[in-house]
Structure 1
Amino acid sequence: MDRDHVIVVGLGFGDEGKGAVVDALCADGPVSAVVRFNGGAQAAHNVVVDGRHHTFSQFGSGTLAGVPTWLSRFVLVEPIALATESRELEAIGVADPLSLLSVDAGALLTTPFHVAANRARENARGADRHGSCGKGIGETVWYGLLDGHKLGDVVEEQEVLGEPGPAPTVGDCLDPRALRRKLDALARFYEPLIGAGPEVDGLVELYRAFADAVRITTGDEAGRLADSGRLVFEGAQGVLLDETYGFHPHTTWSTVVPRNARELLQGRSARVLGVTRTYQTRHGAGPLPTEDPAVLARFPERHNGTGEFQGAWRAGHLDADLLRYSVDCCGGIDGLAVTHLDATGLKVAAGGELADMPDPIAYLEGLLGVGVLVAATGPTRADYEVRENPRHDRVDFGVGGRDRAPV
């Protein structure tokens, strides 16, 4: 494919294969950086290269191809998990992984207080769980919305149980005094929900070490990176989990559609690459209209299982209506990445009817009017083919005849 900046977006409920697609694009090169533009430590992007496997969480999935990562202000950063991931990458041969990482000073910090509160709320929901990963993502975003609110207010359907303070950011890790004040306020705020929580002084020390180990950026780092080379923007989760366009309450507290990436690019051109499997999957609670236990049995998942907080791994037939809806939510796409093309005996649901899908590439190109730019027939980089420009023009859909504002 051409050398424009690329925005990689999952068109399902997540787990479409975005990480391996990003790795393939970076290996095809040249790519100067992978930019994360949403989500946080709950990402689980599997990349398999030459016998090495890593599930990327916060590092960009181009790391095994030697491409550095920039975590933008739209990413929620969890330094403790990041240190663990760095050690895991070192164990499979990546030298000094943190030297490949830079982080925007304005990114919110996910702390153990957020994680504990997230798990306490999800446990309290019992059978009505939302399907949270239990990583503190929603809680980090929610606390960041509380500026100007007070005890007893209801914000995003959750009651404010204490007096909130300013949300801690990555930039605060450079100023131990400011960081301690914010973490002290966080501890007091969450005590009614989680009890005493972790010891603040220890966290300050850990976060100061984090600030020493990574490059923290300010100003228009996105513009500098974009003008110095080709960027791949790596999305997390899928459009059907988007905080605006997903199916509430089984959504992520994150903008999955390309809006954040476009904001970072400030008018620079980029191509949107939508990623889909040849069948539908979902991890955890929420609607899956084409769910079929027979599909789950036929395609066992090596890297996905039942999570303590997230719930069960589920599968069903490809849903053409949801796929078109996702494309519409993105404001259109410029190409497709299709994974799991080695699956056989596939069916597709469209308009309430279930039909055979003997040739997924031909079907998807006909359905969406764009070409397949990345095709994957297995789990390893060698199974991913990056193709030349498609012969199709960009298509924007208006699902159900509704007009949708650009995102």
Structure 2
Amino acid sequence: MKKRLVVVGTQWGDEGKGKITDYYAGNADVVVRYQGGNNAGHTITFDGQRFALQSIPSGIFNPHIKNVMANGMVVNPVSVVSELEALEARGIREYNLYISDRAAVVMPYHSVLDGAMESMKGGKLIGTTKKGIGPAYADKYERTGIRMGDLLDADYFAARLRDALEEKNMELRMFGCEPMSFDTIYAQYMELAGRLGKYICDTSVLINEEIEKGSKILFEGAQGVMLCIDHGTYPYVTSSSPTASSVPQNTGIAPRYVDNVLGVCKAYTTRVGEGPFPTELEGATADYIRERGHEYGTVTGRPRRVGWLDAVVLNHTRRVSGIDYLALMLFDVLSGLDTVKICVAYELDGKRIETMPPTIPQFQRCKPVYIELPGWKEDISGIKSFGELPQAAQDYVRKIEELTKIKVAVLSVGPDRLQTVRLCDIF
């Protein structure tokens, strides 16, 4: 049995990674969040309670698990403190949290600039959550950003903040926004440093020590591969790479230590925000899936766009992220439909293609080529094994495996962790 599992989203995010990470976390010693920030949401349901996480790793509910926010993340200290307070208010008080001293910090000016820049785009919106994630990553690569470890040195943080504000206040004025006060931000972040300082450390050292000990480690990303800055539907993407191939860089481990990748996908497809979506549905079927699947953003509350499952997308994400197994989520949502469809190819300018086109104009012109399968009417939310599924539901799963050449390891038939059917052991 392999000891290091990466959980990635295979679509445009919101696939149910939180539930799967929570499900496998029971077998883990360490859970590592390796990219993104508080622009992503993981929803976890157990014992009749629903928890929505944004930055905190999904293993936080188990006091025996080490939860790591790694260097590939951008960390908003305000959001982290708020999440921890919300968890503690609901009785989650015993946990082990570690925040990388090399993780970039989301500062107050990042969210203001994020919103201002998005507003400037007019009708060509990216669909950002306006939480400052993109600007924080931009500062990281421009080498003007502040890192979590900087907060532990008051003098150094002050110097970095003064330098940053010289530039950021000019940008804020350019966008017609009020400049920000050094004293206000410095005082706020020093208070946050006092609250979070005990969690800040070199998480690369910690993770490598756990690898040497033979610990079982679960790596979780945010968003999905189709929102990858390199391999997604650029520019309608996030500002980092959710792929499994980004794990070594984003956590400070060697590539050879990534030995198993679980791709999480819905039994259909959803997307939040702008950008092309070939299998998107409108009308009664879309409404049926959206309401049964509660398809509204965890962070934003926005209604998600919904569509049929897209095997072209799954094969693209399999290739660029090295997916070994699939977790098929919200499978129960499709119950009640007369027929279900899977997109197996696109038609682009009169030609059939089975790979992702590189540009948005090409992708927007893609028309889905479907196969249609019988649906099923039975309620499957209480099943405990694959053999209990109606034959049509079994056929749907096997067709996905055939089209993607990926074995389905897990089926989710409801939001609770107990509503999970394991087809094979992978971790």
> So what's the TM-score if we normalise by structure 2?
0.81
Find the aligned partners of 1:226 and 1:295 in 2 and give their Cα distance.
47
Which whole-Å CA distance do the structure 1 matches of 2:139 and 2:200 have between them?
25
Structure 1 residue runs of 4 or more that deviate by more than 6 Å after TM superposition: none
Q: Deviations over 1:134-168 (max 9, x none)?
A: 11111001112224xxxxxxxxxxxxxxxxxx311
SS across alignment from 1:127: coil
Q: Which amino acid aligns with 1:52?
A: Q
For 1:189 and 1:195, the matched residues in 2 are separated by 13
Within 5 A, what are the aligned runs for 1:207-226? 207-217=192-202, 220-226=205-211
Q: 1:52 aligns with which of 45, 49, 65?
A: 49
Aligned partner of residue 6 in structure 2, secondary structure: strand
Q: 2:204 & 2:415 partners in 1: Cα distance?
A: 38
- Offset at residue 337 of structure 1 (A): 0.7
> Using a 3 Å threshold, how does the CA distance of structure 1 residues 184 and 203 change in structure 2: closer, same or farther?
farther
Q: Write the distance in 1 (CA, Å) between the matches of 2:149 and 2:127.
A: 31
2:5 alignment counterpart: 6
Structure 2 unaligned regions, length at least 5? 346-367, 374-391
Aligned partner of 1:285 among 269, 274, 281: 274
Matched, 1:385 2:421: yes
Residue in 2 that maps onto 1:173: 151
Aligned partner of 2:253 among 262, 265, 270: 265
Query: Given the alignment, which residue of 362, 367, 370 partners 1:354?
Result: 370
Instruction: State whether structure 2 residue 145 is matched by structure 1 residue 129.
Output: no
- Alignment counterpart, residue 146 of structure 1, candidates 142, 147, 157: 142
Contact 2:39 2:299 in 1 (8 A): no
Deviations 1:55-81 (A, max 9, x none): 111111122234331111111111100
Name the CA distance, whole Å, in 2 between partners of 1:10 and 1:281.
12
Paired-residue identity, %: 26
Q: 2-side partners of 1:231 and 1:219: how far apart? A: 13
Counterpart residue type for residue 207 of structure 1: L
Write out per-residue CA displacement over residues 31-53 of structure 1, whole angstroms, 9 at most, x where no aligned residue. 11111111111120100010121
Q: 1:60–1:68: 8 Å Cα contact kept in structure 2?
A: no
1:123–1:348 CA distance, 2 compared to 1 (3 A): same
The aligned counterpart of 2:294 is 302
User: Residue 368 of structure 1: CA displacement?
Assistant: 2.0
Query: By how many angstroms is 1:329 displaced?
Result: 1.3
**Matched residue, 1:112:** 108
Change (3 A) 1:295 1:91: farther
Within the candidate set 315, 321, 334, 2:312 is matched to 321
Aligned to 1:373: 409
SS in 1 for 2:105: coil
Q: Give the distance between the partners of 2:299 and 2:204, measured in 1 at CA.
A: 39
Instruction: Return the alpha-carbon distance in structure 2 between the equivalents of residues 269 and 170 of structure 1.
Output: 26
Pair 1:209–1:381, CA change in 2 (3 A): same
1:104 maps to a residue whose letter is S
Aligned residues: 365
What TM-score does the superposition give when structure 1 sets the normalisation length?
A: 0.84
- Following TM superposition, by how much is the alpha carbon of 1:171 offset from its aligned partner in structure 2, in angstroms? 0.5
Cα 1:168–1:369 shift into 2, 3 Å:
same
Partner Cα separation in structure 2 for residue 368 and residue 118 of structure 1: 37
Q: Within 1, Cα distance between the matches of 2:329 and 2:415?
A: 9
- Secondary structure of 2:294's counterpart equals coil
How far the C-alpha of 1:219 sits from its partner, in A, is 5.3
Which AA in structure 2 matches 1:189? E
Measure how far apart 1:125 and its partner are: 1.5
SS in 2 for 1:367: helix
From the superposition, tell whether residues 207 and 65 of structure 1 become closer, same or farther in structure 2 (CA, over 3 Å): closer
**Does the CA contact (< 8 Å) of 1:13 and 1:241 recur in 2?**
yes
1:176 is matched by which residue type in structure 2?
A: A
Secondary structure of the equivalent of 1:373? strand
Pick from 180, 197, 205 the counterpart of residue 197 of structure 1: 180
CA contact (8 A) 2:317 2:323 kept: no
Q: How many Å separate the matches in 1 of 2:258 and 2:135?
A: 33
